[in-house]
């Protein structure tokens, strides 16, 4: 199989482009708000540190030593002949589920690019009405922005990974970070900042339930793009002598820092406006626009730049969700990239449309299953079930099925023996046990 190679920074940029996205700025704050704040954040941070980084490295390892699509990677690295491990590789299709609802949110952001220029709501009540009105009632506009987002993502993917992603990332990631830093300094000067800090960092254990623990673990998987084969697929293009460990840590640290920044900013504004943290999926769209509006014309500019940068952060993540299944289809089924993309694109467009409609008043009843709307089902199924399950499989595969000597040979240039053993122990025991425990806990309690 021929694959183009990333440059060394290219891999970090692409992996960071995948990790940093709406998960950090849209989903992390609203999940934190819905799950009571500090305790959720703590579980999230613990999961990233003790599980996420190790799994990230495990995925990099699988991609790096197999240099194959995820399905073939599991198949060829497994010592068992005719084995069932290839089925673990089907995790690539989780990316299709994620992309379906993710594209709807990119569509919302497109609408907010327009809003930030022409009609910023002046207070938080109006902002709430505007967001909820859009999601609940404006089917035509949402379908329009969703379709544009979809077309853009498919177009970028059809261009191929390297060229598409590296260039866009090089400009937009720093732009996003710059705007966040700007907003952060503004937030520090407001009263709500202290409240935001305690909301995010002082755990209230009474808010912890089996649901919120699973949600925090799922969010950690989601934010690092784990359990979809994305990191495996990107690591296929990694130059041989890249420091795998350092790259994994850089990406995870950057991703976490951005989520925490976003959380601090958004909750400062929420408390500044005396609004409730439990605004759900609208949180970022409700908390920021009134603030931009208060800044006058500068607010229009900053708001515009913020939503543009956010859209692109979303798009670079979106591209990374579909690449694993494209590589699988083109590699294993000898499909052309175009054909693979048409099949996957059709599925995404249909599922995405249903997700979009499930939030609207008109269709919410029809598209509800056991009390949950289809949009939320796609999200829950992928982040809280499929990604953690895939994480367990990856850990078991690396821990028990790939020869330890081979792993050691690949990683030892970048880790000392103590750290290697710690990582290996985490992969073999901690991850399978801890993640299963969280999932089982949710089923029974
Ligand atoms: N990590 C992305 C984010 O935080 O927005 C979302 C994501 C990307 C999930 C790629 C899954 C994936 F395969």
- pLDDT digits (tens), the chain, 445 positions: 556 667 777 788 889 989 999 999 999 999 999 999 999 999 999 999 999 999 999 999 999 999 999 999 999 998 887 678 989 999 999 999 999 999 999 999 999 999 999 999 999 999 999 999 999 999 999 999 999 999 999 988 887 655 555 666 677 788 889 989 999 999 999 999 999 999 999 999 999 999 999 999 999 999 999 999 999 999 998 887 889 999 999 999 999 999 999 999 999 999 999 999 999 999 999 999 999 999 999 999 999 989 998 998 999 899 999 999 999 999 999 999 999 999 999 999 999 999 999 999 999 999 999 899 999 999 999 999 999 999 999 999 999 999 999 999 999 999 999 999 999 999 999 999 999 999 999 988 8
Which among 334, 89, 87, 332 is positioned nearest to 229, based on CA atoms? Answer: 89
Which ligand 1 atom lies nearest to the CA of residue 255?
Answer: 4
With respect to residue 58, please indicate whether it lies within any of the assigned structural domains: yes
- Which ligand 1 atom minimizes the distance to the CA of 324? 13
Q: Is 318 in the pocket of ligand 1 (CB under 6 A)?
A: no
* Residue 230, ligand 1, Cβ within 6 A: yes
Alpha carbon distance 356, 359 (integer Å): 6
CA distances (Å), 322 to each of 222, 255, 317, 341, in order? 14, 20, 9, 9
Structural domain includes residue 215 = yes
Phi-psi region of 336 (alpha: psi -120 to 50; beta: other; left: phi over 0): beta
Question: Is the CB of 22 within 6 Å of ligand 1?
Answer: yes
| pLDDT at residue 165, as a whole number | 58
Query: What's the sign of the alpha-carbon dihedral 71, 73, 74, 78?
Result: positive
Does the beta carbon of 222 lie inside 6 Å of ligand 1?
yes
Distance 224 CA to ligand 1 centre (A): 6
- Residue 117 CA to ligand 1 centre (angstroms): 28
265 neighbors 135 (Cβ within 8 angstroms): no
Whether 226 is covered by a domain: the verdict is yes
Per-residue tokens: 22: 């709406």
Distance 317 CA to ligand 1 centre (A): 5
Distance 222 CA to ligand 1 centre (A): 5
Residue recorded with tokens 């350092």:
246
320 lines ligand 1 (CB under 6 A): yes
How far is residue 222's CA from residue 218's CA, in Å, rounded to a whole number? 6
Report the CATH number at residue 302. 1.10.4160.10
- Assigned token pair, 245: 């460990």
Q: Which domain holds residue 353?
A: 8-444
CA of 294 to the centre of ligand 1 (A): 32
Gap from CA of 383 to ligand 1 centroid (Å): 10
* Phi, psi of 369, deg, nearest 5: -130, 130
Count of domains observed in the chain: 1
Residue nearest to atom 12 of ligand 1 (CA): 225
Element (H, E) at 368: strand 368-369
CA angle 331, 337, 340 (to 5 degrees): 85
Does a structural domain hold residue 1? no
**Angle between helices 404-411 and 53-66 in degrees, nearest 10:** 100
SS3 373: strand
pLDDT for the residue numbered 431: 98
Is the shortest distance between the CB of 21 and ligand 1 below 6 Å?
yes
pLDDT of residue 14: 84
What number does the ligand 1 atom closest to the CA of 313 have?
5
Q: Is residue 212 part of a domain?
A: yes
Within a domain: 2: no
Q: Is the CB of 398 under 6 A from ligand 1?
A: no
Q: Find the DSSP H helices in 92-205.
A: 94-118, 124-137, 139-158, 161-188, 192-201
Q: Which of 226, 337, 241 has its CA nearest to residue 2?
A: 337
**Looking at residue 437, what is its pLDDT?**
96
pLDDT the model gives residue 174: 86
Cα 46 to Cα 39: distance, rounded to the nearest angstrom = 11
CA of 25 to the centre of ligand 1 (A): 12
Out of 320, 380, 390, mutate this one to test ligand 1's pocket (max ligand atoms within 8 Å of CB): namely 320
Torsion of CA 32, 28, 255, 353, to 10 degrees: 160
pLDDT at 1: 52
Tokens standing for residue 403? 């020869």
Q: Which two tokens stand for residue 5?
A: 């190679």
Residue 123 lies in a domain: yes
| Rounded Cα gap, residues 131 and 126, in angstroms | 9
Closest to 357 measured CA to CA, from 153, 98, 140, 96: 140
Say if CB 89 and CB 73 are below 8 A apart.
yes
Q: Does residue 246 form part of some domain? A: yes
Instruction: Report pLDDT for 164.
Output: 57
Element of type H or E holding 435: helix 431-444
């Amino acid at each position: 199989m021929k694959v183009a190679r990333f440059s060394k920074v290219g891999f970090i940029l692409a992996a960071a482009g995948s990790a940093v996205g709406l998960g950090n700025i849209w989903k992390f704050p609203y999940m934190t708000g819905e799950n009571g704040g500090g305790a959720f954040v703590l579980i999230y941070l613990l999961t990233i540190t003790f599980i996420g980084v190790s799994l990230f490295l495990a995925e990099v390892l699988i991609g790096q030593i197999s240099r194959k699509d995820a399905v073939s990677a599991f198949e060829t690295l497994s010592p068992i002949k005719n084995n069932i491990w290839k089925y673990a590789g089907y995790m690539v299709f989780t990316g299709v589920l994620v992309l379906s609802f993710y594209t709807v949110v990119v569509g919302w952001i497109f609408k907010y690019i327009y809003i930030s220029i022409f009609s910023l709501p002046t207070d938080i009540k109006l902002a709430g009405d505007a967001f909820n009105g859009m999601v609940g009632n404006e089917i035509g506009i949402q379908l329009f922005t969703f379709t544009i987002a979809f077309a853009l993502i498919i177009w970028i993917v059809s261009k191929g990974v390297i060229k598409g992603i590296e260039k866009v990332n090089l400009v937009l990631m720093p732009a996003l970070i710059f705007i966040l830093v700007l907003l952060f300094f503004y937030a520090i000067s407001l009263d709500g900042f202290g409240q935001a800090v305690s909301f995010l960092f002082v755990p209230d254990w009474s808010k912890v339930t089996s649901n919120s623990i699973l949600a925090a673990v799922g969010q950690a998987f989601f934010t690092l793009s784990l359990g979809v084969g994305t990191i495996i697929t990107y690591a296929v293009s990694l130059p041989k002598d890249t420091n795998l460990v350092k790259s994994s840590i850089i990406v995870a640290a950057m991703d976490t820092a951005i989520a925490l920044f976003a959380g601090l900013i958004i909750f400062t504004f929420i408390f500044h406006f005396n609004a409730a943290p439990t605004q759900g999926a609208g949180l970022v769209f409700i908390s920021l626009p009134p603030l931009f509006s208060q800044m006058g014309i500068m607010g229009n500019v900053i708001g515009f730049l913020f939503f543009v940068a956010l859209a692109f952060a979303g798009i670079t993540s979106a591209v990374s969700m579909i690449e694993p299944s494209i590589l699988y289809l083109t590699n294993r089924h000898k499909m052309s990239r175009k054909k693979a993309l048409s099949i996957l694109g059709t599925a995404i467009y249909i599922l995405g449309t249903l997700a979009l409609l499930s939030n609207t008043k008109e269709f919410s009843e029809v598209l509800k299953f056991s009390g949950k709307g289809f949009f939320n089902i796609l999200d829950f199924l992928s982040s809280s079930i499929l990604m953690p399950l895939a994480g367990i499989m990856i850990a078991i595969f690396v821990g028990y099925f790939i020869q330890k000597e081979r792993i050691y040979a690949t990683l030892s240039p970048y880790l000392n023996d103590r750290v290697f053993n710690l990582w290996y122990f985490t992969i073999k025991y901690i991850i399978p046990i801890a993640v299963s425990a969280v999932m089982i806990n949710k089923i029974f309690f």
